[in-house]
Chain A
């Protein structure tokens, strides 16, 4: 029998690592966000000036809201591409199904930077997108609209985050017993009714999970906007990065990072609540 003291000891030991690598750094950021800089020195005097500066300045708040909207668009586009793809893979039989699934997951094994450069090359003036569009006569000359703007950020993020949508959706689809689909058809439902009333509601938890993954990843991404965003593709991630990397105003950067994290956390909790309310 373990005494109460021993149990506390085990509990503390299990907790030590997460506390050390997650809670402590986040806590440090939180503390930092209430500090200010004076002659490139950080002064801890517990003021709210950083938060006031963020919410009071439309340049920052506007960029933040714009980024939220961009992430929302990324999520919607990812689901519109990813759900049919996951569904298609799920409908396949035998070896082909898992081959396709592996192919969908393969980008996860590649370097993020390599994928970005590849997409930059594809979307550029001499890239494959322009070549195809010019080749089939949709465009008269190669266009620059695919790169160095907000739309380029959207396209790139959707492509890069696609596996994070496809995999969770596929997993919930795969958990639906085949007999449920047979039962639906047996009771007279056509394909659309079966999809709308059985498959879609039962795959909602995976869809929500995929949406959260994509949203949170897109929200914190500052490299993609930097690489393909040009001047209009400015996101809050880039702003935060510049506070640390260029302006050396760490407390202000930390304050924005805290706001970002709270929004992400709020969304995760809300989505988790929505998913858990479904009886699956």
Chain B
């Protein structure tokens, strides 16, 4: 493991922002810290970068304790949320700042800056000032400035938040591409689930200063282990019930599932999590009435209400198919699913 957080704690005044976070980050991986605002994800990044001091626990880098090492002596560089470009320096001067203050060999530094500007596609703009650049270009200068020193870890604090949607999508792919090219560990902070899923090797979902779940995007999407994670990624159907052997007793009957935490005891209150795209119209299953039909292009969305239990609402996505006749509002349908795609999480 390259970077390890061991029971790291952070307190701001009377507020315990991070009670005790432990985390291992592998060499060369793209790890995303994902969570709503106030979840402590940015605090974790600050602690790694050395911009905040831990109130407990240890931070290890390649086996060395760096908990008390000042920020300028850590082999990490940061891409700041507002880019933090030096306004009085050109693109090339901004990119060359790290090598300059680290007293690297000037000739080698110049070559390094040239190469880095080439990688991020800014060679033509090297003599511009930040004020003369667009948002996306500034973003790339900030990235160039961070990667030019060849740091072991690059920390990115919501770097895409200020960009508009299409540019953000473009930059997501670009960042991922750069990361693969330079093979450096990226620790990326975001509150955007789509962004996290698109870019990450692994995602750490944080909530109220705790790690809810850590896993690959697929694991988090298909195998959520907490109610928070199950509800955090996209739309989801969560049906309340009671665990009973291999089924969940709900108000619409006993529903089978494919996966549950081994530790969950029978008789416990649980939620059955089924993704909208995993539900399908089938001859047998949960009897529902169609409340609304929403055509979304790639899919058609049916908002359903269970006949036996009006409190149970289901969200079903039908893949687009010109030949299929889609039910209309008011129709009665039955809904089924493959039990392998249903997951039980604690209520």
- Chain A positions near chain B (C-beta within 8 angstroms): 177, 179-180, 182-190, 193, 197-198, 201-202, 278-280
Contact = CB atoms under 8 A, between A and B. Distances in A.
Nearest to B104: A188
B72 A185 contact: yes
B102 interface: yes
B77 A187 contact: yes
11 contacts: A177-B84, A180-B84, A183-B84, A184-B86, A185-B72, A186-B76, A187-B77, A188-B72, A197-B101, A279-B129, A280-B88
A185 B86 CA distance: 13
B32 to A, nearest CB: 20
B232 interface: no
A182 B142 CA distance: 13
Closest 7 CB pairs of A and B: A189-B101, A179-B84, A187-B98, A183-B84, A188-B102, A193-B101, A185-B72
A202 B87 contact: yes
Nearest to A180: B84
A279 B131 contact: yes
B145 interface: yes
A182 B42 CA distance: 15
Nearest to A196: B101
B97 interface: yes
Nearest to B148: A187
Contacts of A183: 78, 80, 84-86, 145
Contacts of A179: 80-82, 84
Contact of B101 (A182, A187, A202, A279): A187
A198 B86 contact: yes
B49 interface: yes
Given A185-B71, A188-B101, A177 B82 contact: yes
Nearest to B93: A197
B271 interface: no
B5 interface: no
Nearest to A204: B88
Interface in B54-101: 70-73, 76-78, 80-82, 84-88, 97-98, 100-101
Given A183-B84, A186-B77, A187-B97, 9 more contacts: A180-B84, A184-B86, A185-B72, A187-B145, A187-B149, A193-B101, A197-B86, A279-B87, A279-B129
A190 B72 contact: yes
A239 B131 CA distance: 49
B174 interface: no
Interface of B: 49, 51, 70-73, 76-78, 80-82, 84-88, 97-98, 100-102, 129, 131, 145, 149
B78 A186 contact: yes
Contacts of B72: 185-190
A198 B89 CA distance: 9
A106 to B, nearest CB: 32
Contacts of B131: 279
Contacts of B49: 186
Given A187-B97, A187-B101, A189-B101, A182 B88 contact: no
Contacts of B149: 187-188
A63 to B, nearest CB: 40
B97 A201 contact: no
Contacts of B145: 183, 187
Nearest to B82: A179
Contacts of B102: 187-188
Contact of A184 (B76, B81, B97, B129): B97
Contacts of A186: 49, 51, 71-72, 76-78
Contacts of A189: 72, 97, 101
A206 to B, nearest CB: 14
A94 to B, nearest CB: 12
A180 to B, nearest CB: 5
Given A187-B98, A188-B102, A190-B72, A280 B84 contact: no
Nearest to A279: B129
A57 B97 CA distance: 55
Given A186-B49, A186-B78, A187-B97, A201 B88 contact: yes
